[in-house]
Amino acid sequence: LTLVFIGDGAPSGNYGYTNSGYSVYEEENERLTESLRTKVSAIKSLSIEIGTEVKNQNKILSEMDNDFDSTGGLLGATMGRLRTLSRGSQTKLLCYMMLFALFVFFVIYWIIKLR
């Protein structure tokens, strides 16, 4: 884009422009200025929308960070309980597993027998 500005007090004969030629350049400058104004307005609204989107995304990321922190705490507590359970005697754990397996076996046997 090339803008041509000619001073108001410049005589028309110095630059070889007639009054109508001066008017043409002035109209072109006005048209280009309006075009530039429209583009700047569009960029301004776009940058405002980008700023709003960034704020929303930061809020979502903050909420996710809080959720991950709480989940990490829950997982840590669960792992602690699992370690406590694994420290107990292996025979006790094996006994519980056998009793559970027998219970499941009898429930399945009972369901099949009732058919």
Total domain count, the chain:
1
User: What would the pLDDT profile of 6-58 be if each residue is shown by its tens digit?
Assistant: 544 444 444 544 555 678 889 999 999 999 999 999 999 999 999 999 999 99
**pTM for this entry:** 0.46
d(CA 83, CA 45): 57
DSSP per-residue string spanning 23-46: HHHHHHHHHHHHHHHHHHHHHHHH
Position 73: which residue type?
G
Q: Indicate whether 65 belongs to any domain.
A: yes
User: What would the pLDDT profile of 56-109 be if each residue is shown by its tens digit?
Assistant: 999 999 999 998 888 888 888 888 887 777 776 677 777 888 999 999 999 999
Q: Indicate whether 12 belongs to any domain.
A: no
Q: Indicate whether 63 belongs to any domain.
A: yes
d(CA 105, CA 99): 10
Q: Indicate whether 69 belongs to any domain.
A: yes
Q: Domain limits at 33?
A: 28-89
Q: Indicate whether 98 belongs to any domain.
A: no
d(CA 49, CA 55): 10
Q: Indicate whether 58 belongs to any domain.
A: yes
